Amino acid sequence: MKVLVTGAAGFIGYHVSARLAGTQHCEVLGVDNLNDYCPIELKRARLHQLEQFESFRFVQADFADAKAFNGLYDHFKPDYVVHLGAQAGVRYSLENPAAYVHSNLLGFTTVMEACRRRPPKHVVYASSSSVYGAGSKPPFAEDANTDCPLSFYGATKKSNELTAYSYAHLHGLNVTGLRFFTVYGPWGRPDMAPILFAQAITEGKPLKLFNHGKNLRDFTYVDDVVDGLLKVLLYPPAARPTPPARVFNIGHHRPVETILFVRMLEQLLDRPAQVELVEAQPGDMFETCADLTRIQAAVGYTPKVPLEEGLKRFVAWFREYYVKV
């Protein structure tokens, strides 16, 4: 089968591409614009890892550029589309909302339009736990009200879900959105907590914990996320009695306080953290926890990697890539 993966040089996109490309009878086309939101050298290092797979090809392109994306889409003729490309980051959306409009709104519509013209068997796209906002009570269930996201990033992901539903209703496009919950692991994003915390501990620098370290996060190991995504990909939603659109949570269902997360990293890195407890940040959620009932019933998804094991694997990679010891 032929699978097009946007955001292939990104964290989750890299892991999905590697798993697919390592599967027999699967041809993967990765698309990424290699922007500088995260260090380009990290993205190129991920792509270098993907070069080992003969069935993986990469094209540097902006999926928000309709002419460029339509051309490569029509040439490749994918059977499946995994749309993971997006402008990520809750706090950065306060600084540069235009980047989110470009990638998450215009770009998402461009991808949907290409798929509408030549429908693949299934489109799976990245949503986020950030769609759960004011009034949401953990564990978050997919049918909870998500009309009040607390960040602009979350608002763009909510928009993606609405857009996908309309394309399913109007054009019969098979689409599934995945609400990711705090994904971590090797090759992760440098702007996310695991790498920020690990770097601060390793370098002996102050480490700020918002909301005095009491925020609860449903840390989900990346291999579990990939397992769930690929199970979902191969089972498109039923066309009737509703439009073929659905949304699933993918999390671990075991939220942990960020201060405990830091203490676990201290032990693994064998160094103390210089913790600064500060007030909560605008747009942050105090707790995230995924209700997994729906995805377990649909495809049998169950996370397998406990935080203790996942952090060991993350630290081993962190030492090799960043610390070189």
| pLDDT tens readout for residues 108-158 | 999 999 999 999 999 999 999 999 987 788 999 999 999 999 999 999 999
Q: What is the mean pLDDT of residues 254-273?
A: 96
More confident: 83 or 284: 83
Q: Which domain does 8 fall in, by range? A: 2-181+221-250
Active site residues: 153
In a domain, 296, yes or no: no
Lowest mean pLDDT among 19-28, 69-78, 238-247: 238-247
Tens-place pLDDT, residues 147-187: 999 999 999 999 999 999 999 999 999 999 999 999 999 99
Verify that 234 and 270 share a domain, yes or no. no
**pLDDT confidence tier of residue 324, bands split at 50, 70 and 90:** low
In a domain, 294, yes or no: no
**pLDDT confidence tier of residue 223, bands split at 50, 70 and 90:** very high
Q: In the prediction, which pLDDT does 239 show? A: 74
Query: Is the pLDDT at 303 greater than 90, yes or no?
Result: yes
Verify that 38 and 107 share a domain, yes or no. yes
Verify that 132 and 258 share a domain, yes or no. no
Verify that 204 and 226 share a domain, yes or no. no
Verify that 21 and 145 share a domain, yes or no. yes
**Number of structural domains found in the chain:** 2
In a domain, 299, yes or no: no
Query: Is the pLDDT at 1 greater than 50, yes or no?
Result: yes
Verify that 118 and 258 share a domain, yes or no. no
pLDDT > 70: percent of the chain: 99
Q: What is the mean pLDDT of residues 216-227?
A: 97
Verify that 174 and 246 share a domain, yes or no. yes
Verify that 40 and 157 share a domain, yes or no. yes
Q: What is the mean pLDDT of residues 63-70?
A: 98
In a domain, 95, yes or no: yes
Verify that 135 and 206 share a domain, yes or no. no
Q: In the prediction, which pLDDT does 140 show? A: 96
Angle, helices 66-76 vs 108-117, to 10°: value is 40
